């Protein structure tokens, strides 16, 4: 693991696995690289995997500015420049999936293949008001036990996740910067690239859980991108990287090989 000074921020990243074609793995809102480890630990056995944490979360620097998907896209590309990587595959979960769409739109010549894991819709995403209100209160008070309980209650397949996973999620929610927590929530609510999807020419794969509330909107986005495919995983919700890491890693490997 290491840090790269990117656009006035120390960005945490980890470059592991065999040398060769690079694949970037990016987390969602109020999450971190650790939340995707069940998937990352399998992908790194076959692929050069570069995990990173966005500014304001996890081990990356908590900056005062730079909290937008356009800015995050610039961070990803600048990290690739730092590592002297011209083109790369990109895997993004949830908010990271929305970031993937932004990358494909802003930097079409840099992204070789796009893998979107339960991405936020191209028309934006806003969390349930009751859930968001309780999460705000628990975060303010840094009440990790109640945050864990809230996250577990909201999770369709909570029994497939270890208690340590919920602890880590709650910990990141409490520790992430104000800019990431509130700024990216506002950014996702205002996000709208629906009209740009038809211009995406990068081979794109959607992988979604059958029980994910975002599935219908993900399906609509899939049909709006000409060179795209979709795989729907049974017995999975929004956190497919944790709920079905074995199946998911095989699907991704087949797509990028």
What the chain holds in terms of domains, given with CATH numbers, is: 2-122+191-256 (3.40.50.1820)
Would you state the pLDDT for residue 155? Answer: 78
Residue 10's Cβ-count burial label (10 Å; 0-12, 13-18, 19+) is middle
Weakly modelled stretches of the chain, pLDDT under 50: none
Q: Tell me the two tokens of residue 148.
A: 């864990």
Would you state the pLDDT for residue 83? Answer: 97
Q: Tell me the two tokens of residue 241.
A: 């990287």
Would you state the pLDDT for residue 63? Answer: 96
Would you state the pLDDT for residue 137? Answer: 97
Q: Are 7 and 82 in contact (CB under 8 A)?
A: no
- CA distances (Å), 15 to each of 37, 45, 49, 113, 156, in order? 13, 12, 6, 18, 32
Neighbours of 142 (CB within 10 A): 12
Would you state the pLDDT for residue 112? Answer: 98
Q: Tell me the two tokens of residue 181.
A: 């927590």
Q: What is this structure's pTM?
A: 0.96
Taking only the tens place, the pLDDT of each residue in 33-69 is: 988 999 999 999 999 999 999 999 999 999 999 999 9
- Choose among 78, 54, 50: nearest CA to 188: 54
């Amino acid at each position: 693991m290491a840090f790269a000074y990117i656009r006035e921020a120390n960005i945490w990243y980890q470059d592991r696995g065999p040398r060769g074609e690079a694949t970037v793995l990016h987390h969602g809102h109020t999450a971190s690289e650790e939340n995707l480890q069940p998937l990352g630990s399998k992908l790194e056995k076959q692929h050069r995997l570069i995990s990173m944490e966005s500014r304001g979360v996890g081990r990356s620097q908590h900056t005062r500015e730079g909290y937008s998907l356009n800015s995050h896209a610039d961070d990803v590309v600048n990290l690739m420049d730092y590592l002297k990587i011209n083109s790369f595959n990109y895997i993004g979960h949830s908010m990271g999936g929305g970031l993937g769409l932004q990358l494909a739109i802003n930097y079409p010549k840099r992204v070789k293949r796009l893998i979107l894991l339960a991405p936020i819709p191209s028309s934006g995403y806003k969390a349930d008001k009751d859930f968001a209100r309780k999460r705000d209160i628990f975060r303010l008070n840094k009440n990790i036990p109640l945050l864990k309980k809230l996250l577990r209650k909201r999770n369709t397949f909570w029994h497939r996740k270890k208690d340590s996973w919920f602890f880590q999620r709650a910990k990141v929610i409490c520790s992430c910067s104000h800019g990431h927590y509130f700024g990216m929530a506002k950014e996702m609510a205002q996000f709208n690239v629906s009209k740009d999807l038809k211009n995406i020419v990068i081979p794109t794969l959607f992988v979604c859980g059958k029980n994910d509330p975002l599935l219908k909107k993900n399906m609509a986005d899939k049909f709006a991108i000409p060179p795209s495919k979709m795989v729907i995983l049974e017995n999975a919700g929004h956190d497919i990287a944790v709920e079905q890491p074995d199946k998911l890693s095989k699907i991704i490997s087949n797509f990028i090989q």
